[in-house]
């Protein structure tokens, strides 16, 4: 099993990264702030305007360390990767299936089945653990709808129809999302999904978390030799990592949505951790971003038992395991792609 190494998050806007021997050196305003051995890292996520030296970018590509750049507000800019890994025959098979919408739908429906299943699990978990604090009838109605949606997904062989079912299920799921917020309701209400830009703290956290997850999924796919830009559910669009967006669908409710709810309900994130930009967008403060990323890394290091493999792994390795299972399916080593169905 692949070992989960550390992720280095650079949140200072004035930080500059350079290569010193076999370490990454962090300088802030010309002053050395830290030095970390490269062999301990698998990702470097940088929210700095200053960027990194070409020597560091080249060494990261050589070692397979994913170096990603974001604006201080969390908008993805670019990432550096080395030579493509894996068998070229695997990628050619991926391209052929992507060009066939019927074959693509067979894979895409498992991604969406996993997503809707995990959405229902999240709703059922809250209803079970907090039955005295929620509208039980409303939760049961939502659960029934999501179960019906899963039955429709299993029988669907048309991508457009599949997208329609997924959209309906997402609308119903997010329609109850505010009820999953049990504490700090006066500051963290959810009145629907908005993302460009996010207009409230809950949407700001969801968007930020989805960006982090998409980055992890892209790295996982490239690590097994797949092309993260060529998807099955999400079709080709210049600059869009369509397969990474496909893979993250089944993981959104667990790795991001439940994580955000936990931060709010446990009061780890507070209203003072957000600020409003001139554009109207709600963004993290520097302190808020640090708290989110620290908790995110801790969450990724928590151990779980993978429901399909029945092996103990860390949450952060789930995208890598699912990417590996997808590659095995494309190589015809498996009869179907098994989505991550949390128990």
Chain-centre distance for alpha carbon 54: 28
d(C-alpha 324, C-alpha 329), whole Å: 9
> Which token pair is 222?
């490239």
Query: What pLDDT, on the 0 to 100 scale, is given for residue 73?
Result: 62
- In the predicted structure, residue 62 carries a pLDDT above the cut 50: yes
pLDDT band, very low/low/confident/very high, at 313 (cuts 50, 70, 90) = confident
Q: Confirm if 44 and 7 have CB atoms less than 8 A apart.
A: yes
Mean pLDDT of 80-95: 78
Mean pLDDT of 174-200: 88
Burial category of 238 from C-beta neighbours within 10 Å (exposed 0-12, middle 13-18, buried 19 and up): exposed
More confident residue, 331 or 113: 113
> Residue 26 pairs with which residues in a beta bridge?
17, 34
Query: What pLDDT, on the 0 to 100 scale, is given for residue 85?
Result: 58
Phi then psi for 236, rounded to 5 degrees? -65, 135
pLDDT band, very low/low/confident/very high, at 192 (cuts 50, 70, 90) = confident
Query: What pLDDT, on the 0 to 100 scale, is given for residue 1?
Result: 47
Q: In the predicted model, what is the mean pLDDT of the chain?
A: 87
Q: Confirm if 17 and 44 have CB atoms less than 8 A apart.
A: yes
Query: What pLDDT, on the 0 to 100 scale, is given for residue 94?
Result: 93
pLDDT band, very low/low/confident/very high, at 30 (cuts 50, 70, 90) = confident
Q: Say how many C-beta atoms besides its own lie within 10 A of residue 142's C-beta.
A: 22
């Amino acid at each position: 099993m692949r070992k989960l190494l550390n992720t280095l998050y650079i949140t200072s806007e004035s930080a500059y990264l350079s290569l010193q021997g076999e370490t990454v050196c962090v300088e802030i305003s010309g002053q050395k702030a830290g030095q970390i051995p490269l062999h301990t890292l698998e990702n470097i996520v940088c929210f700095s305007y200053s960027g990194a030296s070409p020597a560091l970018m080249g060494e990261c590509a050589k070692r397979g360390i994913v170096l990603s750049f974001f604006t201080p507000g969390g908008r993805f800019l670019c990432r550096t990767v080395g030579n493509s890994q894996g068998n070229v025959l695997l990628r050619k098979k991926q391209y052929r299936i992507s060009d066939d919408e019927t074959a693509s739908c067979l894979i895409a429906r498992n991604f969406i089945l996993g997503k809707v299943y995990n959405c229902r699990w999240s709703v059922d978990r809250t209803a079970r653990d907090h039955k005295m604090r929620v509208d039980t009838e409303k939760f049961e109605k939502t659960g029934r709808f999501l179960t019906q949606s899963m039955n429709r997904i299993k029988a669907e062989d048309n991508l457009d129809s599949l997208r329609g079912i997924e959209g309906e299920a997402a609308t119903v799921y997010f329609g109850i999302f505010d009820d999953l917020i049990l504490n700090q309701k006066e500051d963290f209400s959810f009145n629907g999904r908005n993302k460009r830009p996010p207009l409230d703290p809950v949407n700001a956290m969801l968007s930020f978390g989805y960006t982090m997850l998409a980055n992890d999924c892209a790295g996982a796919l490239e690590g097994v030799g797949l092309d993260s830009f060529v998807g099955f559910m999400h079709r080709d669009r210049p600059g869009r990592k369509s397969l990474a967006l496909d893979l993250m669908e089944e993981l959104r409710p667990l790795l991001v949505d439940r994580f955000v709810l936990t931060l709010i309900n446990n009061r780890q994130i507070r209203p003072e951790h957000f600020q409003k930009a001139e554009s109207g967008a709600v963004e993290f403060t520097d302190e808020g971003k640090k708290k989110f990323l620290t908790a995110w890394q801790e969450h990724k290091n928590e151990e779980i038992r993978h429901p399909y493999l029945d092996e103990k792994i860390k949450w952060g390795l789930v995208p890598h395991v699912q990417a590996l299972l997808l590659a095995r399916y494309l190589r015809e080593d498996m009869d179907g792609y098994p989505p991550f169905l949390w128990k």
